[in-house]
Amino acid sequence: MKKLESDILGILQEDCRYSPAKIAVMLDKTEKEVADAIASMQARGVIVKYTAIVNDERLSDDIVQALIEVKVSPQKTSGFDAIAEEVYRFEEVKSCYLMRGGYDLAVFIEGKNLREVARFVAERLSTLDEVQSTATHFILKKYKIEGTITDTEDDNRIRISVHA
Amino acid sequence: MRNFVNRRSQELKPSGIRKFFDIVSEMKDAISLGVGEPDFITPWHIRNAAIKSIQRGYTQYTGNRGLPALRELIARYMSERFSVEYPAENIIVTVGASEGIDLVMRAVCDAGDEILVPDPSYVSYAPCVLLAGGVPVRVPCSQENAFILTPEALEKAITPRTKAIILPYPNNPTGGIMTKEQLEAVAPVFEKHDLLVVSDEIYAELTYGGKHVSVASLAGMRERTVVINGFSKAFAMTGWRIGFVCAPPELDKALFKIHQYAIMCAPSASQYAAVEALKDGFGDNFAVVESMREEYDRRRRFITNFFNETGLACFEPRGAFYVYPSTASLGMTGEEFANGLLRAEKVAVVPGDAFGEAGKYHVRCSYATSMANLDTATSRIAEYVKKCKG
């Protein structure tokens, strides 16, 4: 990837609210160069969406999140993609990755409570023909999300000083 | 009872802006652009190296000069990064670069010797000179000259008593640097008057748009130069108190004696951390330093641009992590501006004259703080400037 694009992504991934004008100043580029690069990345699907990182532990509503390891039998013509689509189309599925290793699909799901997650696995996932087995792991705590440590570290520095 | 405090200590001036700093410290909701250290935390692998050294029981004194392995790494670091060649035998690991400044002044000053100190510059130089019995002589630097030392300003300040000059570039508070050409212009003055050059290069890794040039890398200058550097700014290791001095053999011997008697050695855990910082750095061409530098660079462009657009002339700093805009266009001194800004908008900046008379119409703003903080702080400053312009 071009340096400009990776620099812009670095800034947007830190805070996607920065305007092209501000990013241009930071990177010593013109506003147009930055805006064009962002538009191009959007068009190419490099930038999928602008969103907020939520630490749901701090939310008052209880939710249950789980990682489900899914083993599937790939289909002759479409490989893993078709069965993956059957899985990720479900509303409850928040993320879905094809893996190499002990299992095939890593499926992150979210539900209001344990029962809801259990029902999803038992009634929706396990009943798919291609699904051979599942293993459900409940997420207890998120220490770091998308490169950001959830417990913000305090700034312990001396607030103002000339002796440094 | 007698006053037991000696005259030199009595005559040291307390920091004139203590009161201002106290207000800032208590104003918890103020955004501070007054912090003089990185906002990055020491990289985890460096912290871990120190923890491991403690777990393994490496908790004794090291040799007075510091761990041989560390000094070898420092020699290589100075050579590869800055083309400065001092053998490991002439390197002393110190308790921060601060110890280095004190050591050199104590080793160099005879009563009445004059030491040139650029104005503005870091606050500790002059007191260290005074405590060592020397006489600090200010050399004014100006925004028009990008805060560098010029041969003319030097010649004006030099007398038969002048013995050494402190060369503090990249500079705190101005962010000014001296290029190879600019150094080559003043080097003959140093030679002509047979001066020792005390080059404080603690911000050497933090330059923008060109690598730092050490005066010790110029032909014939190493023999009359002592380089002071450290890990605080480059590796975000301020609290570890670990630095080093590289000196020509004669001076090195004297520095070593003082260090040996006064300090023994730098803290062992910090030395092991420093070993890791350099070893890892050689492995990936100092990627950790580079990523911090790039982040500072973005903020630097942002805040320099802001001040110039707001009408507070700000020369483009090419080093360190400070900008030093002028408040003259508002008809205010830096101190008036800093006080007003703090009261009206709760943003703390440091009055420029804290670093010398030449900074009277300036303030120092540190961009060693998050972009989010800079964003809020600059909007508030803009509000305040609007009010001042009325």
Residue of B24, B124, B302 with shortest CB distance to A160: B24
Positive or negative, the CA dihedral B202, B206, B208, B209 is positive
- Render pLDDT for B163-181 as a digit per residue (tens, 0 to 9): 999 999 999 999 999 999 9
Separation between Cα atoms, residue A87 and residue A129, nearest integer Å: 12
Tell me what pLDDT residue A162 has. 83
Phi and psi torsions of A26, nearest 5°: -60, -35
- Taking an 8 Å cut-off on Cβ atoms, the answer to whether B350 and A158 are in contact is no
Q: What percent of chain B has pLDDT over 70?
A: 100
- Name the segment(s) of chain A with CATH classification 1.10.10: 3-43
Please give the single-letter amino acid code of residue A42. Q
Please tell me the pTM assigned to this model: 0.92
- Render pLDDT for B137-163 as a digit per residue (tens, 0 to 9): 999 999 999 999 999 999 999 999 999
Tell me what pLDDT residue A62 has. 84
Residue of B24, B354, B371 with shortest CB distance to A159: B24
Top CATH class of A3-43 equals: mainly alpha
Mutation site, B35, B44, B172, B293, interface A, largest A CB count within 10 A: B35
Please give the single-letter amino acid code of residue A14. E
Mean pLDDT to the nearest integer, A132-139: 95
- Render pLDDT for A16-30 as a digit per residue (tens, 0 to 9): 999 999 999 999 999
Domains of chain B: 7-42+288-389 (3.90.1150.10), 58-283 (3.40.640.10)
- Taking an 8 Å cut-off on Cβ atoms, the answer to whether A163 and B25 are in contact is no
Mutation site, B27, B33, B171, B371, interface A, largest A CB count within 10 A: B371
Per CB-CB distance under 8 Å, the chain B contacts of A18 are: 371
A43 reaches B (C-beta below 8 A): no
- Render pLDDT for A80-121 as a digit per residue (tens, 0 to 9): 999 999 999 999 999 999 999 999 999 999 999 999 999 999
Nearest residue in chain B measured CA to CA from A8: B298
A151 reaches B (C-beta below 8 A): no
Residue of B41, B124, B305 with shortest CB distance to A163: B124
Separation between Cα atoms, residue B266 and residue B245, nearest integer Å: 12
Tell me what pLDDT residue B16 has. 67
A56-141: which CATH topology? Alpha-Beta Plaits (3.30.70)
- Render pLDDT for B288-315 as a digit per residue (tens, 0 to 9): 999 999 999 999 999 999 999 999 999 9
Q: Write out the two tokens for A18.
A: 């920065």
B123 reaches A (C-beta below 8 A): yes
Separation between Cα atoms, residue B38 and residue B233, nearest integer Å: 7
Per CB-CB distance under 8 Å, the chain B contacts of A22 are: 302
Mean pLDDT to the nearest integer, B12-38: 88
Q: What percent of chain B has pLDDT over 90?
A: 95
Residue of B39, B301, B355 with shortest CB distance to A26: B301
Per CB-CB distance under 8 Å, the chain A contacts of B30 are: 159
What are the angstrom distances between the C-alpha of B101 and each of B29, B67, B228, B244, B287?
A: 35, 21, 7, 10, 29
- Name the segment(s) of chain A with CATH classification 3.30.70.920: 56-141
Per CB-CB distance under 8 Å, the chain A contacts of B24 are: 159-160
Tell me what pLDDT residue B89 has. 97
Q: Which residue has the tokens 């061409």?
A: B285
- Taking an 8 Å cut-off on Cβ atoms, the answer to whether A164 and B25 are in contact is no
Tell me what pLDDT residue A1 has. 65
